[in-house]
Amino acid sequence: MGLYFQNSSSKTIWVAYAYSSSDCASEGDPWSKTGWFPVTPNTDAMVRSGPVNGAKYFFFAENQDRSASWGGEFTTQLPDRTFDWCWSTGSTDARLLGMKKVIVPVNIPSFDYTINLTGP
């Protein structure tokens, strides 16, 4: 059971994602963000364990040389280094990047969910 990212491209992809977290509620926005998880070409990687059905996530991904990225309209600061922050946390070495929202269907039978990243 878990949240997976599948890399259907020819280059390693690095993934950051956000999830609901009561630990960050005191900061005014109950979301945590964490990254970077490498996903090598033609493989998948689990980034979160446990049942994910019915949950909402956000993600941003980019390949090794930043020639391709996957994201959306929900902007937050993401550093180039490994991190585990609340949504509103930032730093001087972070980039403002847009994350894409994903709502996992409630009725998925396996409690696993895979986000497929395709590209060059």
Model pLDDT for residues 12-48, shown as the tens digit of each residue: 999 999 999 998 987 778 999 999 999 999 999 999 9
Nearest-CA neighbor of 94 among 108, 113, 77? Answer: 77
End-to-end Cα, the chain, rounded Å: 29
pTM, two decimal places: 0.93
Residue 107 has a pLDDT of 79
Domains annotated for the chain, with CATH where assigned, are: 2-118 (2.60.40)
Beta strand pairing call for 13-20 and 83-86: unpaired
Q: What is the pLDDT of residues 73-106, one digit of tens each?
A: 999 999 999 999 999 999 999 999 999 999 998 8
Please say whether the dihedral angle defined by the alpha carbons of residues 27, 25, 101 and 37, taken in this order, is positive or negative: positive
Q: How confident is the model at residue 120 (pLDDT cuts 50, 70, 90)?
A: low
At 52, phi and psi to the nearest 5?
A: -120, 0
Question: Which residue, among 79, 117, 120, 84, has the nearest Cα to 100 in the 3D structure?
Answer: 117
Percent of the chain past pLDDT 90, that is, above it, reads 78
Cα pseudo-dihedral 69, 74, 80, 81, rounded to 10: -120
